[in-house]
A and B are shown apart, each in its own frame.
Chain A
């Protein structure tokens, strides 16, 4: 009996607490009304410009025509996806997207690490700062400009690169931008050109956090510069490398649209056409709205899976995830 009583009492206090908490909850909301007012335009923005287009993805399952509207167009189920997976174009742009990413990963990912290691060894602070700031510059230049410059510099008839190859090495001019063999190389170099310097920032910050006493100890033990780099600097930035590498894996389905468009030309489409440029060409120039939305949706879904996987891996290795 007494047990029930106390249980009842406990229940009562629980309920009171809930009521009190609920009241204070609403009080808190009321007090912070202004915070919600601030968020109103923000929520409106996300609903209209992020979530509404997600809803618009349903045209991948319809035969969209602008006059019918999204809701008025006929459902066609998975027709566009079937067409897509049967089309050789799909496999071509998928292959190109992945290949360009692999090249950029294999060659482009180590580039800033190497640069940062070199910068970190510079004794003269001023020299280091000047070089750093010079290397950051390409990051701030539009792809429209970088593409134009690259085409000019790599041109077989007037470009400086071919000029040097011809005069110094006696080679025949190379059609960098117009040959399917060379274009991916030019693309990869352009990525490194724009991002390698900028990419050093996080590595340099991680290197600055390495305990200088470790280097002193290594010196006393007779370790040379290269061994110090191998045994102290690199382990010191290991977690930064790991995180950035994992993050990079999350964007394996993306190829910079502006970069690719500005470097692309009709003679290299077999290697230079990627998912995003293909969607643009087929979707907006040829007005195959539904078909290209199906491809875009495929890309978004793979991207979603990659990012969720990446987040899980980052958490597994004990770092703070993206969310």
Chain B
């Protein structure tokens, strides 16, 4: 039985080593751009523009962060993003549970038509303009309700939670029902505690979605007090220095545009991704679990 393990040919050893090197290289390439931004944020704008920054900060300083703090706009936008994310995720979870629990009960009368009603909205996706007109007609422009309400439920996430609930043993619920517990009590006291892993995973997916979105903010939020972090960043990068795109710097067109210095841009990027990078190591296993639970249903 054991003789397969004894000899390892030099070829397969070399392959193994090559594999490790290639994977490390992939991880390096995937993460280097973030590292570059961190280094750049602590470098002088001169060094960045001269292309001197590659791995470590050049002419180390924290001016960019001080400027961001003094200006305060970016941090205000971050506070707005935090509010949008927190409230949005709470609404999402409440609504997702309210949809998933009844629909996961096979005895529910009219379950088939209801599922069809919901599934159809997932496969026929209405366009941008009708949605915009709806939000405008409802008078929701320039308020966070324009973001929260249309995004209350992600149908896909709801189906993931539904299939998780369907997978829980029915006996627990039945015995509770015999003891006279109503559906609300069964949901709150029995189902939700059993659903903890999927609740964690889905709230993380929702929260990341809220944190990262910028297009809906661009559509519906007009006052600058309500701007969110990612929209600020988007505006920063699209007002990009033409010389960055086209090479040959110092053209007349470039000098008329008020540009965000490169170091400030880099520092803003770092501020925007820092919260995600900080919580990621602690939460990553929930993300993976969420994907795997979702794939069971396909």
On A, residues with C-beta under 8 Å from B are 25, 28-29, 32, 34-36, 38-39, 41-43, 45-46, 48-57, 59, 64, 66, 69-70, 115, 118-119, 121-123, 127, 131, 133-138, 140-145, 147-153, 155-160, 163, 173, 175, 177-178, 193, 197-198, 201-202, 205, 216, 219-220, 224-226, 243, 257-258, 261-262, 265, 267, 276, 279-280, 283-284, 289, 292-293, 296-297, 299-300, 303-304, 307-308, 314, 319-323
Contacts and interface: CB of A to CB of B under 8 A. Distances in A.
B98 A38 contact: yes
A307 B119 CA distance: 12
A154 B182 CA distance: 60
A304 B244 CA distance: 41
A267 B245 CA distance: 10
Contacts of B298: 243, 314, 319-322
Contacts of A145: 230, 233, 269, 272-273
A66 to B, nearest CB: 7
A159 B48 CA distance: 9
B249 to A, nearest CB: 6
A118 B31 CA distance: 18
Interface of B: 4, 9, 11-12, 15-16, 19-20, 22-24, 26-27, 30-31, 33-34, 36-37, 40, 48-51, 54, 95, 98-99, 101-103, 105, 107-109, 114-119, 121, 123-134, 136-137, 149-150, 152-153, 182-184, 187, 208, 211-215, 219, 230-231, 233-234, 236-238, 240, 243-249, 262, 265-266, 269, 272-273, 276-277, 280-281, 284, 287-288, 291-292, 295, 297-298
B22 A148 contact: no
A45 B51 contact: no
B30 A135 contact: yes
Given A151-B240, A152-B37, A152-B244, A293 B129 contact: yes
Contacts of A267: 245-246
B85 to A, nearest CB: 12
Given A135-B26, A137-B277, A158-B51, A45 B126 contact: no
A323 B88 CA distance: 28
Contact of B215 (A42, A45, A258): A258
20 contacts: A36-B102, A42-B99, A131-B26, A133-B281, A137-B31, A142-B211, A144-B234, A145-B269, A147-B234, A148-B237, A148-B265, A151-B240, A158-B49, A160-B54, A193-B33, A202-B291, A205-B295, A265-B238, A303-B123, A323-B119
A319 B12 CA distance: 36
Nearest to B99: A42
Given A39-B102, A177-B245, A25 B109 contact: yes
Contact of A38 (B33, B101, B208): B101
Given A57-B126, A148-B269, A163 B262 contact: no
Contacts of A243: 298
Contact of A144 (B27, B237, B248): B237
B128 A57 contact: no
Given A49-B149, A59-B129, A144-B233, 5 more contacts: A34-B182, A133-B284, A257-B215, A289-B133, A300-B125
B245 A175 contact: yes
Contact of B244 (A55, A151, A299): A151
Contacts of A173: 247
A202 B293 CA distance: 10
B230 A144 contact: yes
Contacts of A323: 115-116, 119
Contact of A122 (B23, B51, B234): B23
A166 to B, nearest CB: 9
By Cβ-Cβ distance, the 3 closest A-B pairs, closest first, are A296-B127, A56-B130, A142-B212
Given A142-B212, A142-B272, A42 B109 contact: no
Nearest to A42: B99
Given A143-B212, A293-B130, A156 B149 contact: no
A205 B20 CA distance: 20
Contacts of B215: 257-258, 261
B208 A283 contact: no
A175 B244 CA distance: 9
Given A32-B109, A258-B213, A115 B26 contact: yes
Given A54-B124, A158-B48, A59 B130 contact: yes
